[in-house]
Amino acid sequence: MNRTVLAVAAIAIGVTAVGAQSDPIAARKELMKGIGAQTKTGGGMAKGEVPYDQSKAQAIFASYIDAASKAPGLFPPTSKSGGDTAALPAIWENKADFEAKFAKLGADAKEAQAKVKDADSFKTVFPELTKDCGSCHQTYRAKKS
């Protein structure tokens, strides 16, 4: 059973990698959609609208770390347009800052994994972590009309 699960996971990772190379816009949209879902769950826990769950909190942080490592590679110069992208040209004009923002998100999420032990610490740390997302979106993502 475990071998089957591992084989399916390996195939899924391989398909995702191939998909990212062939359509980085779709791959980054999918990645960000996942982060959005995690952020929604975290926001509910931070506001007390959803019961706090330590394992969910750790999963949120792990997904942020994963996204922070993958996302910069999903913005090759060939993906500046098309695919209904909201990515602004500023990404490629200031690639070092863009990548630094993802590095900060990853580092801050790792720090959050270590700090958060209960609902109170989550409520303190999580809103600060989401500011990393907001700072990147303000500079590098087109506003929805």
Give per-residue pLDDT as tens, 48-58. 999 999 999 99
Q: CA 78: distance to chain centroid? A: 21
Domain locations in the chain as residue ranges:
24-140
Biggest CA pair distance of the chain: 48
Tell me what pLDDT residue 83 has. 81
Nearest partner of 129 among 144, 114, 107, 97, judged by Cα: 107
CATH 1.20.120.10 is held by the domain 24-140 = yes
For all residues of the chain together, what is the average pLDDT?
Answer: 88
Tell me if 85 sits within 8 A of 141, measured CB to CB.
no
Q: What separation in angstroms does the CA of 80 have from each of 21, 57, 83, 144?
A: 14, 33, 9, 17
The model's pTM: 0.82
